[in-house]
Amino acid sequence: MVGYLTLILSCQLLGEVIVGALGLPVPGPVLGMAFLFAFLLIRGHVPDALGTTADGLLRNMSLLFVPAGTGVIMHVTLLSEALVPLSLAVAISTSAAIVVTALMMRVLSKGAPNE
């Protein structure tokens, strides 16, 4: 279990180092996840111990949101000053995501057989 946790964190570290060194416009953890995915493709399957380790991380993922929640509470006055622009940005970006998703589904489903 510790070995696979080390593998997961090493992939993330490798992604962070490469992104930092090359200045890539991709988050380091995303690149690290791609490395882990490549490892799993080469291996051909997900080892049981890796699945157990990943499940343990996922069960405790809510703890990772505590720092973000603390930051929101600490800067609540700053957020309240920018409430209108933030609300508009969230509403517009959410609407745009819904529209783009609907259009992509329409385009991609044209070639699919109807049921």
Overall number of domains in the chain: 2
Output the pLDDT for position 42. 93
54 shares its domain with 2: yes
**38 and 22 assigned to the same domain:** yes
End-to-end Cα spacing for the chain: 45
CB 7 within 8 A of CB 36: yes
Same domain, 2 and 53: yes
Q: What secondary structure letter does DSSP report for 23?
A: T
Q: Are residues 55 and 6 in the same domain?
A: yes
Structure tokens at 102: 């609907």
For residue 74, pLDDT over 70 is answered with yes
Least confident interval from 1-5, 34-38, 82-86: 1-5
Instruction: Tell me which amino acid residue 55 is.
Output: D
Measured CA to CA, the distance from residue 110 to residue 72 in angstroms comes to 43
Domain that residue 105 falls in: 65-115
Residue 83, pLDDT above cutoff 80: yes
Together in a domain, 80 and 53: no
Q: Are residues 4 and 43 in the same domain?
A: yes
Model confidence pLDDT, tens digit, residues 18-70: 999 999 898 888 999 999 999 999 999 888 999 899 898 888 888 877 787 88
| pTM of the full structure | 0.55
